[in-house]
Chains A and B, each alone.
Chain A
Amino acid sequence: MQSDFQIARHYFGHYLKPYPWQLIISVLTVAIYCGAAVYTPILLGHAVTQLTTVLAEFRAHQTVVMAPFIRTAATMITINVVAGFADCATSAILGWVAGVSTSRMRSELFAKMQRIGVSYFDRTEDGDLLARFTSDLDNIFNAMNQVFVNSFYWFGSLIGVLIMMFSSNVMMGVVTIITTPLAVLVCWFVITHASRAVNEQQRAVGALNGYINEQITGQKVIITNGLQQPSIAGFTSRNATVLQAAQRGQIWAGMLMPVMSGLMLLNTAIVIFFGSWYVLQGNMALGTGLAVVAVFVQYAQQYYQPIIQLTSVYNIIQQAVTGARRVSEVFAQPDEVRSTDGKVIDGVHHGVKLTDVHFGYLPGVEILHGINIDAPRGHMVALVGPTGSGKTTVMNLLNRFYDVDTGSITIDGTDIRALELTSLRNNVGIVLQDPQLFSGTIRDNIRFGDPDAGDAAVINAAQQARIHDYIMTLPDGYDTLITDEQSVFSAGQKQLLSIARTILTDPPVLIMDEATSNVDTVTEAQLQAAMNAVTRGRTSFLIAHRLRTIVHADEIDVLRHGTIIERGTHAELMAANGFYAQLYRDQMPELATNA
């Protein structure tokens, strides 16, 4: 088990690797900038010394020689201008690196998501997965912008200060850094407590967010059951937890920088007192001494600055490390298994067969116990049965969203696992019970499977799906913008749209899952017609609740608890007077009395 920091190091290393030149140049510009920054105090010191000499000369000989001083001052100004440009260059380069690398992180995470199998999405809550895109990557971006870029400066100036201090006056240098061990200890102590507290805070916030989400989604239930007070009470208590955790977290985390600042001031005081004492003891000329103290006061502050800055962004670093770990978890998921030399098929010639299929989502919990179905080309096979009997599971297998545990599914005799996955899915179309639409125009949604399809094909598909007329009533027609959340379609119309989407790709094999269960009465007639249009001539597997829609199936398989208990045509099964017959009679009382 790698630690969070190891994972983070690996993660960030991967994304910064492609930019060696930018990083090297940045090091150079930072060196220039930091060099200037640490040299300036020395120049200031020179200036002070020179002015002292000028004053002394003036008092003694009434002469003024400003030239050396002016040179020094001019140098100071020039160096600072150069440093300014170097600073600008550094920020620009590193800011660019941060921007492109975080963009790559986003793209690669998305690409990885496209490769992962369906089971990960079924197992993971949408909110949690989306958070990796939003808040985790956000935290990483913040860290890249605030920490990564600045860290170059911090290290550069730290090294520069140390060099300057010790090459100037070793003793004063030692005095200046004397509080370092204390600082390290304090830092370590506060950080340990802070990270614990901040983790608690993030956990509490996560729980609160989950609660809010749930309550708002279920607000109708809350209202109709008069649960407003308990709902508010639940929020208040969770909010109080967040408050406590946040206070603790923020106090510890917020304490770090002021404490370090305090240490810095302490350090400066030590330098001033010691330096002054030393000079006053007669160890140094007054002018020189003054200059030295002035210089080392600057160094004392410059020495602590990087440490202070680092501790002030500690929070951000912690969140970025956690973010890197969570994102890395997604990358650790296995990709969907695609065979490298898969066969490509073009249509179904003989049929689709399920042979002794056993499957369970979780190890040890088998859902399908030996399913056998033989669907010749062009036949419609209907799967019926109570909820939980395994019908949707069969559909998950036909498209290789999941793979069978034992047994096989074959098209024209070839195991579907031996086919190229893209080719398999080109040949197997689905219509889901809960159709998902995508942001874009209606036209984009209908030609989702073939973005290059022409308008004629789009309109034809819409007509067959009986949704064309409604689309033409919209002011923008096919160019109407929709998203899954805000669309102009009712639930039933969304299903017609998803049927149009599938019709457009004209797949030889079709799987429809409970497509008629959400529909309102009038559109049901349209849906029936649409379904007839989409199933005609295709080898189709229809998963249905409403028996009237599958009365014409070539074969009806009745599933119960993961096995097929009855099989036959509608007439055969009615004659057999078994489970299916009972189901049918329960749903069709008016037919029973009126037929």
Chain B
Amino acid sequence: MTNDINQVQMLVMSILQIVLRVPITFAGALALALLAIPDLWWLLLAMIVVIGALGAFMTVKMGGYFGKIQHYIDEVNTIARENMMGVRVVKSFNQENAQMAKFNHASGLMETLSIKIGYAFAVMVPGFFMIANVVVGVAVLLIGNQITSHPAYLAVISSFVGYVLQILYALMNAAFIATGATRAFVSLGRIGEVLRHAPSMLFPNRAPVLNLDGGIELRNVTFTYPGDDEPVLKNISFKVQPGEMLGIVGATGSGKSTLAQLLGRLFDPDTGAILVGGHDLRELNPRSIRKAVAVVLQRSTLFSGTIASNLRQVRPDATVADMEWAAKIAQAAEFIDQLPERFDAPVDERAANFSGGQKQRLSITRGLIGQPAVLVLDDATSALDARSEKRVQEALARDLGHMTTVIIAEKISSVMHADRILVMDHGRVVGNGTHAELAATNRVYQTILDSQRNTEEVG
């Protein structure tokens, strides 16, 4: 995005700076030259045509080169980035030399083409100047031969020479801009694509409905990700009572994470409806949805700033007491209290100064701070050790009994204590009951349970 915008910016800058000057200087110089020595109009025309043709040729040829070299640049940068991010892998496999060879190969291709482009310019630009200077020489010769019949020309030779050079500069500038413009138009096209992309979801501007109760209902929901062929959710229907703790388990591809995203209205279902507090999500003012449903994802991004600033993004009027309350339930109070600045502790870019488990607990805190009616945890405790995870759930059950909690998880141990568990398989709900019921009767659930148990003999 930024590179494309830069290209367009440079195009606009060069357009403004030079497209205003170029036609004026060109027209002005041409006019003055013709006024000075009208007999040589054919010479000027010949020069303009030759240089114009060469310029056009250069623009077309260079356009192709620039496209190709951009491709090489991308390759080189990919290798560089991979080696930066995968430095541990490269070093531990002793692949430094192999990666250097790979890089130098890609870089070599770039170098070769780059030099080729340089050679092209090395011929064309001096070529332009040579043409102009030869024209000047020829003009002087011709003027001189007529000097006896046109003595007035003597005085204007100097100016004429100047005008010819001005015409040349104007033409050259135009050629260079045209060359740069092809690059910029590609960028312009890419930016236009993004801007033209109509938002696929409409958000009604209705009056906000506050105090939605935490009841959830899915009615015949089918959903396919844009670009996929197969629906990832197939005709799902279930109901959750306000205050219930619902667990959802299933293998990858079963659709459980997708459910979390639909509950937060990141996408709309293809068919069917999702209701929260009795209202279809599509009919609710977006602010109502955000207030009512908090979704905590597995890899929740925290923004650089402080812990407090992250929490206040969700709820600008959160007091320290509010933050402490949420942190306590999320089991984050334990490490926040150890930080000297507590909630004003800084969060670095990508929250690099916190461990994975701490990041997750902060994300859960953020989910709680708005006191939503529904809290959805999408595998949001995967980086916590078992004890912390259990404590979070106990705290949720104990302190927020009125809040509907939906826990989506891989491990059955994460959802065992839920009021009810949904079992998902390939986009369908194949089980609905308590842990004991499912363990006794549900085939899919039993398979999952077995695979999570240590199947080898305990010594």
Contact = CB atoms under 8 A, between A and B. Distances in A.
B104 interface: yes
Given A225-B313, A521-B448, A73 B141 contact: yes
A50 B154 CA distance: 10
A107 B80 contact: no
Interface in B247-264: 249-252, 261, 264
A492 B91 contact: no
B77 A521 contact: no
Interface string A15-50: 000000000000000000000000010001001101
A436 interface: yes
B226 to A, nearest CB: 15
A547 B387 CA distance: 12
A226 B289 contact: yes
Contacts of A217: 301, 350
The A interface is mostly helix, strand or loop, or mixed, namely helix
Interface in A484-526: 484, 490, 492, 498, 501, 505, 517-525
B242 to A, nearest CB: 20
A454 to B, nearest CB: 17
B200 interface: no
Interface residues of A, number: 123
A103 interface: yes
B387 A582 contact: yes
Contacts of B349: 125, 210, 214
A151 interface: no
Given A47-B140, A47-B144, A223 B264 contact: yes
Contact of B252 (A114, A386, A429, A492): A492
A465 interface: no
B111 A523 contact: no
Interface in A421-478: 422, 425-426, 428-430, 432, 435-436, 438-439, 448-449, 451
Contacts of A125: 349
A484 B297 contact: no
A207 B366 CA distance: 25
B144 to A, nearest CB: 5
Q: Could you tell me the dominant secondary structure of chain B's interface residues?
A: helix
Contact of A551 (B286, B294, B458): B458
A362 to B, nearest CB: 12
A152 B88 CA distance: 45
Contacts of A199: none
A227 B85 CA distance: 30
Given A221-B297, A552-B459, A209 B2 contact: yes
A163 interface: no
Nearest to A209: B2
A432 B89 CA distance: 8
B154 A52 contact: yes
Interface stretch (B28-36, B129-137, B177-185): B129-137
Contacts of A195: none
Given A224-B290, A552-B456, A95 B110 contact: no
A405 to B, nearest CB: 20
Given A84-B129, A91-B122, A218 B301 contact: yes
Contacts of B295: 224
B258 to A, nearest CB: 13
Nearest to B386: A587
Contacts of A230: 313
Given A110-B80, A448-B89, A220 B410 contact: no
Given A51-B144, A401-B91, A521-B448, A225 B314 contact: yes
A95 B141 CA distance: 35
B95 interface: yes
Given A214-B304, A551-B458, A77 B118 contact: no
A590 B412 contact: yes
A118 B449 contact: no
Task: State which size class the interface on B falls in.
Answer: 35 or more
Contacts of A220: 261, 266, 297, 301
Given A88-B123, A113-B83, A125-B349, A73 B144 contact: yes
Contacts of A451: 98
B57 interface: no
Contact of B294 (A99, A224, A483): A224
Contacts of A69: 144
Given A220-B297, A223-B264, A522 B94 contact: no
Interface in A205-240: 209-210, 212, 214, 217-218, 220-221, 223-227, 230
Given A103-B107, A451-B98, A77 B290 contact: no
Interface string A43-71: 01001101110110010000010100110
Most-contacted residue by chain A among B104, B155, B313 (CB, 10 A): B313
A475 B220 CA distance: 34
Contacts of A254: 17
B259 to A, nearest CB: 13
Interface stretch (B60-68, B231-239, B352-360, B395-403): B352-360
Contact of A401 (B88, B439, B453): B88
A121 B80 CA distance: 13
Given A114-B90, A436-B86, A224 B133 contact: no
Given A118-B87, A517-B382, A76 B137 contact: yes
Interface string A107-145: 100110111001001000110011001100000000001
Given A51-B147, A96-B118, A399-B88, 11 more contacts: A55-B148, A55-B154, A76-B140, A81-B130, A103-B108, A103-B110, A217-B301, A224-B294, A386-B388, A448-B93, A588-B413
Leading 7 A-B pairs by shortest Cβ distance: A84-B130, A226-B290, A218-B301, A95-B118, A436-B86, A587-B386, A91-B122
5 contacts: A76-B137, A96-B119, A225-B314, A432-B88, A521-B250
